[in-house]
Chains A and B, each alone.
Chain A
C-alpha cells in the first residue's frame, strides 16, 4: 500500500504535555498538508509544504503548534503544552501538483485526546 501513512493512530495525553505526530506522504508527491477535524465538522486547514518549504500557515496554527518537513519527505506536527481544546483528529494529506490537478490524498489521521 503506497498511500499516506500517519503515526500514531491514537494518542492520549494529559493537559500540558507535548505531543508529536508523523506523516509519510505518497512517495512521488511534492506537497504535504496538515488539517484538523473535530466531531461533526469538516477538516480545517493548518499548514502546507512544498518540499521542505512551509508555504502557508493558518491563523489556527498558534505558537504552540509547529510543523516541519526537514528533508522534503516525511513531516512532523508538534503541539506544545496541550490543551483540552486540542482534542481532534489530525489529518495529513499529500498531492502531486501537475497542470490543473491538485487533488489531495488523505491519510487515516491521528486522533488526539487531551485529558
Chain B
C-alpha cells in the first residue's frame, strides 16, 4: 500500500536556526513527490514537485531533495513567517490522487 510518513510531527526553531523536515514514502511507482505549505484554516499551497531521485528544487529559504525512499525539505535561516504545517504527498503512476502524510508543524520564533 502506498504510504507517506513525515517527521518530526512538530518542530520549534529559533529565527535563523536551519533544519530539515523528513518525508519517507513507499509507492508502487513514483510519478511525483509534492511539498505543500498549509496555514491554519487555509488550503495547502503548492511549493515543489520532484520527479526522480537526485532531483533538487529551491525557493527562497526552502530546498527540497529526493532519494528513492525519502525526501527532505531543508529550511535555511527561517523567519517567523515560515511558521506553517508542511505537507508531503506522493502520486503513483496511473493515478492522479495525492497520498499525503500528516505533516510537520513548524514554529519559528524570534
Contact = CB atoms under 8 A, between A and B. Distances in A.
Interface of A: 4, 31, 33, 35, 40-45, 48, 55-56, 58, 91, 93, 95, 97, 100-109, 111
B51 A106 contact: no
Given A42-B87, A42-B101, A102 B43 contact: no
A103 B45 CA distance: 11
Given A42-B87, A42-B89, A42-B100, A104 B95 contact: no
A17 to B, nearest CB: 23
B59 interface: no
Given A102-B91, A103-B49, A43 B44 contact: yes
B72 interface: no
Interface of B: 4, 31-32, 34, 36, 41-46, 49, 51, 87, 89, 91, 95-103
Contact of B43 (A40, A42, A107): A107
Contacts of B36: 106
Given A48-B96, A107-B43, A101 B102 contact: no
Nearest to B94: A56
B34 A103 contact: yes
B45 A106 contact: yes
B100 A43 contact: yes
Nearest to A55: B96
